[in-house]
Amino acid sequence: MSEQQSKTYECQTCGVLMKTSGEYTKCYFGCIGDIMEVENNE
């Protein structure tokens, strides 16, 4: 049930969007500490 696509998650806390490589997307910019990560398959 994993999609091999670069999805972009938005941070509702900070509203900042950071894309790290295509493995996993990290979203956090020193806000309330909201971090979202998608399962990265090696």
Cα separation, 23 vs 42, whole angstroms: 8
Q: What is the pLDDT of residue 28?
A: 46
Tell me the β-bridge partners of 25: none
Per-residue pLDDT tens digits of the chain, which is 42 residues long: 555 444 544 555 444 455 554 444 455 444 444 444 545 555
CA 16 to chain centre: 10
Q: What is the pLDDT of residue 32?
A: 41
Q: What is the pLDDT of residue 24?
A: 45
Q: What is the pLDDT of residue 3?
A: 54
Per the structure block, which two tokens stand in for 35?
């971090």
Residue that is written with structure tokens 């999805």 in the block = 7
Per the structure block, which two tokens stand in for 39?
């399962």
Q: What is the pLDDT of residue 23?
A: 47
